[in-house]
Chain A
Amino acid sequence: MDCAAIQKLLSEYIDGTLDAKSVQVVEKHISVCEDCKESLASLSAVVEALNALEPVEPPADFLEKIHQRMEPRSDFSRIFRKLFVPFKIKIPLQLAAAATASILVVMVLFHQKSEYQKIQPLKAPKSEWFAEKSKSDHLSPEFDTKTKRSAPIPEETPERLSDSEQRMSAQKSRVKTSVQPSIQREYRPPSSVLTKARPSAGKGQPIALAMILKSDAIGNVYAPDIAMQTMPLSEGDKKTIEQERTDKDTLGRKFEAKQKNQIDDVLLRINHIILPLKGKILTKEYNKPKDRLKSIQVQIPAESYASFCRELTRLGTFKTPPPALSDQSLEAVDLLINFTYPE
Chain B
Amino acid sequence: MNNHIKRPGALSREDTVLIRAIQTGDMAAFDELVLKHKDRLFNLVYWFLGDYQDANDCAQETFMKAFKSINRFRFESAFSTWLYRIAINTCKNRIKSSAYRWNKKTVSLEISNGSKNGNPCSKIVNGSPTPAMALEKKERMMWIQKAINSLPEEQNQVVVLRDIQGLSYQDISDITGLNLGTVKSRLARGRLELKNKLKGRI
Could you list which residues of chain A lie within 8 angstroms of chain B, going by C-beta atoms? 7-8, 10-12, 15, 17, 39, 42-43, 45-47, 49-60, 62-63, 65-66, 69-70, 88-93
- Nearest chain A residue, comparing its CB with the CB of B99: A89
Cβ of B118 and Cβ of A43 under 8 Å apart? no
- Nearest chain B residue, comparing its CB with the CB of A39: B195
Cβ of A46 and Cβ of B102 under 8 Å apart? no
Known A45-B202, A62-B38; judge A53-B194 contact (CB<8 A): no
Within 8 A of A (CB), among B52-81: 52, 55-56, 59-60, 63-64, 67
Q: How far is the CA of A92 from the CA of B98 in the complex (A)?
A: 12
Q: How far is the CA of A56 from the CA of B55 in the complex (A)?
A: 10
Report chain A residues within 8 Å CB of B192. Answer: 7, 11, 43
Report chain A residues within 8 Å CB of B114. Answer: 56
Q: How far is the CA of A65 from the CA of B34 in the complex (A)?
A: 12
User: Interface of chain A, helix or strand or loop or mixed?
Assistant: helix
Known A58-B39, A59-B113; judge A47-B163 contact (CB<8 A): yes
Name 7 interchain pairs, CB-CB below 8 A, sorted by A.
A50-B194, A53-B144, A55-B1, A55-B43, A57-B42, A58-B56, A63-B35
Cβ of A62 and Cβ of B60 under 8 Å apart? yes
- Nearest chain B residue, comparing its CB with the CB of A10: B188
Cβ of B31 and Cβ of A59 under 8 Å apart? no
B99 to chain A, nearest CB (A): 5
- Nearest chain A residue, comparing its CB with the CB of B67: A70
One digit per residue, 1 when the CB lies within 8 angstroms of any chain A CB and 0 when it does not, for chain B 130-167 equals 00000000001100100010000000000100111010
A81 to chain B, nearest CB (A): 15
Report chain A residues within 8 Å CB of B166. Answer: 51
Query: What are the 4 A-B residue pairs with the smallest beta carbon separation, nearest first?
Result: A11-B188, A50-B163, A58-B42, A57-B118
Name, among A17, A39, A51, the residue most crowded by chain B CB atoms within 10 Å (CB to CB): A51
Report chain A residues within 8 Å CB of B4. Answer: 55
Kindly state whether residue B108 has any CB partner on chain A within 8 Å. Answer: yes
Cβ of A62 and Cβ of B188 under 8 Å apart? no
Known A58-B38, A69-B64, A91-B106; judge A46-B117 contact (CB<8 A): no
Report chain A residues within 8 Å CB of B105. Answer: 92
Kindly state whether residue B169 has any CB partner on chain A within 8 Å. Answer: yes
Could you list which residues of chain B lie within 8 angstroms of chain A, going by C-beta atoms? 1-2, 4-5, 31, 34-35, 38-39, 42-43, 46-47, 52, 55-56, 59-60, 63-64, 67, 98-99, 102-103, 105-106, 108, 113-114, 117-120, 123, 125, 140-141, 144, 148, 159, 162-164, 166, 169, 184, 187-188, 191-192, 194-195, 198-199, 202
Cβ of A56 and Cβ of B188 under 8 Å apart? no
Cβ of A90 and Cβ of B60 under 8 Å apart? no
Q: How far is the CA of A60 from the CA of B43 in the complex (A)?
A: 14
Q: How far is the CA of A126 from the CA of B169 in the complex (A)?
A: 91
A221 to chain B, nearest CB (A): 84
Cβ of A49 and Cβ of B202 under 8 Å apart? yes
Report chain B residues within 8 Å CB of A45. Answer: 202
Report chain A residues within 8 Å CB of B42. Answer: 56-58, 62
Report chain A residues within 8 Å CB of B117. Answer: 57-60
Report chain A residues within 8 Å CB of B108. Answer: 90
Cβ of A92 and Cβ of B140 under 8 Å apart? no
Task: Select one of A49, A54, A62, A69 contacting B123, CB under 8 A.
Answer: A54
Report chain A residues within 8 Å CB of B118. Answer: 54-57
Q: How far is the CA of A70 from the CA of B27 in the complex (A)?
A: 11
Report chain B residues within 8 Å CB of A57. Answer: 39, 42-43, 117-118
Known A11-B184, A55-B43; judge A90-B106 contact (CB<8 A): yes
Cβ of A12 and Cβ of B1 under 8 Å apart? no
Cβ of B64 and Cβ of A49 under 8 Å apart? no
Report chain B residues within 8 Å CB of A17. Answer: 169, 184
- Nearest chain A residue, comparing its CB with the CB of B121: A56
Report chain B residues within 8 Å CB of A59. Answer: 56, 113, 117
Q: How far is the CA of A276 from the CA of B111 in the complex (A)?
A: 85
